[in-house]
Amino acid sequence: MKLQRKNRLRALSLGAVAVSGALALTACGSDDTGTKTGSGSSSAAAAGSIKCDGAKGQLLADGSSAQKNAIDAWVKNFSQACGVQINYKGAGSGAGVTSFNQGQIAFAGSDSALKPEEVVASKKVCKGGQGIDLPMVGGPIALGYNVPGVDNLVLDAPTLAKIFDSKIQKWNDAAIKKLNPSAKLPDLKIQAFHRSEDSGTTDNFTKYLIATTPDNWKYEGGKAWQAKGGQAASGSSGVAQGVKQNPGAIGYFELSYAKDMTTVAIATGAKTPVKPSTDSATADIAAAKVVGTGQDLALKLDYNTKAEGAYPLTLVTYEIVCDKGNKPETLPATKAFLTYLAGEDGQKVLSQNDYAPIPEEIIAKVRTTVASLS
């Protein structure tokens, strides 16, 4: 009895340390996540199935704010089970890749696969190996809006491009009316919010516009916002707050940031416009193709899908890690944590937090790759 009580107190203490560390970093970072972490019983069950495999100490990580709500839920379970403190800052995909290639963190979160020049840079850190992309979290990029009196809004790719390129500036524009004939659209100025810092969510959003309506979005794309006009805000939470606080606003962010907000249904050419959800995102990701080589599992998504129920503006966010040459002091904890994320219980956490699990065919390859990290 004494031993059981002692172990229970130790687990509670370690959990408190991990949570306080995460909260402290969240306050310094860009996002106020408000994540759901499930019930206590489900968390305890999840923690009980985690294999620690010698994991110990502390992991530092940074990157995608879009996946931060998922990371927070995973960290809570993993820290309770293994006593490892994981500090994931969530400062954005660009900052994460930079820190990873400077050898400052054990792994990075990124909404975009590594570019060729970033892979070259990673070889200086990954001795004898290189940085690789492991798809771990799926989810729709929601378009949240704040238009008084309009509870259902349908937009298509050309209209979205014109809105975010300041070519359409009022909500009662003829192009929006055509897509929403029964809506009472106000004579209200549109305020389109975008990210102020380098962002993988921006990269994915503009990839969608380039792929689906190149005549209306003639920018090169990338993590930095390129169109003129609009409002800039830091992090997914900053964009979401901007939309909530400003009538006439619209912005893009991962679905878990769209709580208490109405979202756009996208007209794709299917019979019914598609709203963002974990199911509609999973339907789109299932058609993704692995385009990475070797152990790299970078994916190519079909932004032009017209499949019924498939949401085309979907994001797959990666964990970036060395395939070889990981630091000996962090390798056991990194492998154990990523093994949990890619496992059945780890992927279940995603759907509990408004994310889409990675389809089995792809996540099975991730598990094999994680097991081979050295």
pLDDT in tens, 233-291: 998 899 999 999 999 999 999 888 898 899 999 999 999 999 999 889 988 998 889 99
Q: Average pLDDT over the chain, rounded to whole?
A: 87
pLDDT value, residue 354: 82
Query: If pLDDT is split at 50, 70 and 90, which confidence band does 46 have?
Result: low
- Feature table: binding site for phosphate: 64-66, 93, 111, 199-201
Domain ranges of the chain: 58-138+317-372, 141-280
**Three-point CA angle 301, 106, 8, nearest 5°:** 105
Query: pLDDT tens, 290-325?
Result: 999 999 999 999 999 999 999 999 989 999 999 999
The end-to-end CA distance of the chain, in Å, is 40
Query: If pLDDT is split at 50, 70 and 90, which confidence band does 17 have?
Result: very low
pLDDT value, residue 70: 93
Give the length of the chain. Answer: 374
Round to whole Å and give the CA distance between 8 and 14.
10
Compute the average pLDDT of residues 22-31: 32
pLDDT higher than threshold 80 for residue 118: yes
CATH assignment of 141-280?
3.40.190.10
pLDDT value, residue 26: 30
- Feature table: binding site: 64-66, 93, 111, 199-201
Q: Which CATH architecture has domain 58-138+317-372?
A: 3-Layer(aba) Sandwich (3.40)
On the question of a common fold for 58-138+317-372 and 141-280, the answer reads: yes
